[in-house]
Structure 1
Amino acid sequence: MSKTLTAKEVSDHATADSAWVIVDGGVYDVTEFVEEHPGGKKVLLKACGKDSSKQFWQFHNEKILKKVAAQYRIGSVGETSKL
């Protein structure tokens, strides 16, 4: 079930124990993926808790968002919740 989240809610999840990231308005809970991230744990954690669309698209393509990240999507950021 997809839900609408605020930017504040996402910003509260920026640690290895609870890692959420925003990409193009979608919110992804990547907590379980942190250790598996090919670029390393540190780089992924730097992106958590905020809108990291620009950083994501520098290193990934749409295929990654649809095939890999889709399973981690938990909702979207509301229109009034932009970071």
Structure 2
Amino acid sequence: MGKVFTLVEAAQHNNSDDCWLIINGKVYDVTKFLEDHPGGEDVLLSATGKDATDDFEDIGHSSSARAMLDEFYVGDMDTSTIPSKVKYTPPKQPLYNPDKTREFVIKLLQFLVPLFILAGAFGIRFYTKSAA
């Protein structure tokens, strides 16, 4: 077991000259690997200052990539300093109204009003032609 770091300590190592990642409760100094990382150094730099476990797991790293982590290990993470993930709370929405009468009337008017306008236009044209 190595040294134990807080999130604040690990988060200070967040640039291309000094880059640490937190993965599965362990801290890794991946500075020397930045140039060789297949996804580019920006991917690693964007994962600093937070728990990067989900980022690491979502990619589906190979067993050889996982084994490479051992050479970058610098210590363990004090997981109590990592904020817990916030549970999603859906926004407050108005209650469902099963009465669809209003929606039906609006849709009916959206259909009928243009028809009445069109019928009126043809009626006026027909009337003016027959009167002439």
| Same structural fold, with TM-score higher than 0.5 when normalized by the shorter chain | yes
Does the Cα contact within 8 Å between 1:19 and 1:49 map onto a contact in 2? no
What secondary structure does 1:21 align onto? Answer: strand
Contiguous gaps of at least 5 residues in structure 1: none
Aligned-residue Cα RMSD (Å) equals 1.5
User: Per-residue CA shift, 1:37-58, capped at 9, x if unaligned?
Assistant: 0001111111122211001001
What secondary structure does 1:47 align onto? Answer: coil
User: Per-residue CA shift, 1:39-83, capped at 9, x if unaligned?
Assistant: 011111111222110010011346222x11111010111132224
**2:69 counterpart letter in structure 1:** A
Contiguous gaps of at least 5 residues in structure 2: 84-132
Structure-2 separation of matches of 1:79 and 1:58: 20
In structure 2, the partner of 1:55 is 55
Q: How many residues align?
A: 82
4+ long deviations beyond 6 Å: none
Does the Cα contact within 8 Å between 2:21 and 2:30 map onto a contact in 1? yes
TM-score normalised by length of structure 1 = 0.88
Does the Cα contact within 8 Å between 2:21 and 2:28 map onto a contact in 1? yes
What secondary structure does 2:39 align onto? Answer: coil
In structure 1, the partner of 2:23 is 23
TM-score normalised by length of structure 2 = 0.58
